[in-house]
Chain A
């Protein structure tokens, strides 16, 4: 239960039987909610403009619509400093991420003069920034897994444009591989892209 816990629900606050009659349908079959939405958008349908039931419902609701419109012009905003206070706590509780071991310079075995490792969160930030330069996709998750051929990268991406998935995936892979090689001297074993 989220908001209707014990003691908060007045006599009329609870739900009647679901699905019997939510009272939202006008006698003409129009949903009052849809009607109010159309009105708000300034685009009532021809039926809604002409139907006596719709016209009467709009008239009935007019005072509430006016009150809502008035309130909407002056919605209270979060107090200044709220986001800063939240973020101070969040940063103090930052979740520790794992590390990726980076290869040594070419021709010299890794670990010969000490090892280099980098936080996976830093690598993920780097790769996401690289993916941000690819139009048509937004990358969310960037995770790493250890396989027989080395560390693999898995991205989750959403379409934000019209570029077809195979081409988009190739561009994202290429952006990640370029960033990995350029900044870290690393060639990931695989770069998998999961669209959703």
Chain B
């Protein structure tokens, strides 16, 4: 995400590869929100998402020496995050299936926000949970996190064309699901 000042990711990633923990800390602060949201959207539970995000960020530190192109740090990190969240989702016991609704529906807004909300946003969150995960993650990375097709393709290990297709299908299904709010 843009906004936090400082050297570009590539510079910080190279410093971190040299063992500079302060540079890595700047990268963590810069990207932790996106990493957490990717986990939250995949897992639907804040505590589990926090654990998965922590696991992903620590894994990134351990794997930094294998990152070849420091300028691709962000998609590389988000790929680790997406994997970590999916591993956590798969590791769930059948007695604890994916939680539906409440947590995913409105993880951020307080009661006041909910009271004045039109319900549209909650409907979007519900519609997103109903999407197949590959479509959901592509749409979220594009629309909510502002990544480009190439970057998303890096994250989800698909071609940019496949990503484009997934996002298009996600849009179509989301628009259908939101029809009552039109």
Q: Which residues of A contact B (CB under 8 A)?
A: 1-5, 7-16, 18-19, 22-24, 32-33, 60-64, 66-68, 70-72, 74-79, 82-83, 85-87, 89-91, 93-95, 97, 121, 124-125, 128, 138-143, 156, 158, 160
User: Which of A10, A11, A67, A160 meets B120, CB within 8 Å?
Assistant: A67
- Judge whether A9 and B134 touch: CB under 8 Å: yes
- Judge whether A18 and B108 touch: CB under 8 Å: no
Chain B window 17-35, contacts with chain A (Cβ cutoff 8 Å), 1 for yes, 0 for no: 1111100110011001101
- Judge whether A143 and B18 touch: CB under 8 Å: yes
- Judge whether A125 and B20 touch: CB under 8 Å: yes
User: Which of A7, A33, A70, A124 meets B90, CB within 8 Å?
Assistant: A7
Q: Tell me, in angstroms, the Cα distance from A8 to B87 when the chains sit together.
A: 11
B interface size (C-beta, 8 A): 82
Given the contacts A71-B125, A78-B35, A78-B36, A2 and B79 also touching, CB distance less than 8 Å? yes
- Judge whether B36 and A121 touch: CB under 8 Å: no
- Judge whether A142 and B134 touch: CB under 8 Å: no
- Judge whether A75 and B19 touch: CB under 8 Å: no
Q: Tell me, in angstroms, the Cα distance from A9 to B42 when the chains sit together.
A: 13
Residue of A at shortest CB range from B180? A63
Q: Tell me, in angstroms, the Cα distance from A16 to B158 when the chains sit together.
A: 12
Chain B window 142-182, contacts with chain A (Cβ cutoff 8 Å), 1 for yes, 0 for no: 11100001000001111101101111110111110011011
Question: Within the complex, what minimum Cβ distance (angstroms) separates A60 from chain B?
Answer: 6
Q: Tell me, in angstroms, the Cα distance from A78 to B32 when the chains sit together.
A: 6
- Judge whether A67 and B58 touch: CB under 8 Å: no
- Judge whether B11 and A158 touch: CB under 8 Å: yes
Question: Within the complex, what minimum Cβ distance (angstroms) separates B23 from chain A?
Answer: 9
Residue of B at shortest CB range from A96? B19
User: Which of B24, B117, B158 meets A90, CB within 8 Å?
Assistant: B24
User: Which of A12, A24, A97, A128 meets B164, CB within 8 Å?
Assistant: A24
- Judge whether B134 and A68 touch: CB under 8 Å: no
- Judge whether A91 and B133 touch: CB under 8 Å: no
- Judge whether B174 and A64 touch: CB under 8 Å: yes
Residue of A1, A11, A12, A32 with most partner-chain B CB within 10 A? A12
Could you list 28 examples of A-B contacts with CB < 8 Å? Answer: A2-B82, A3-B137, A8-B134, A10-B131, A13-B133, A18-B159, A18-B161, A22-B161, A22-B165, A32-B171, A63-B175, A64-B178, A67-B174, A70-B121, A71-B125, A74-B121, A75-B144, A76-B33, A77-B36, A83-B25, A83-B32, A86-B28, A87-B21, A90-B58, A91-B21, A97-B19, A140-B70, A143-B18
Q: Tell me, in angstroms, the Cα distance from A32 to B142 when the chains sit together.
A: 13
- Judge whether A93 and B19 touch: CB under 8 Å: no
- Judge whether A12 and B132 touch: CB under 8 Å: yes
Residue of A2, A9, A14 with most partner-chain B CB within 10 A? A2
Q: With contacts A64-B175, A78-B36, A83-B25 known, what are 14 further pairs, Cβ within 8 A?
A: A2-B156, A4-B134, A7-B90, A67-B124, A67-B178, A70-B117, A75-B33, A76-B36, A83-B29, A86-B58, A90-B21, A140-B13, A143-B18, A158-B10
Residue of B at shortest CB range from A15? B162
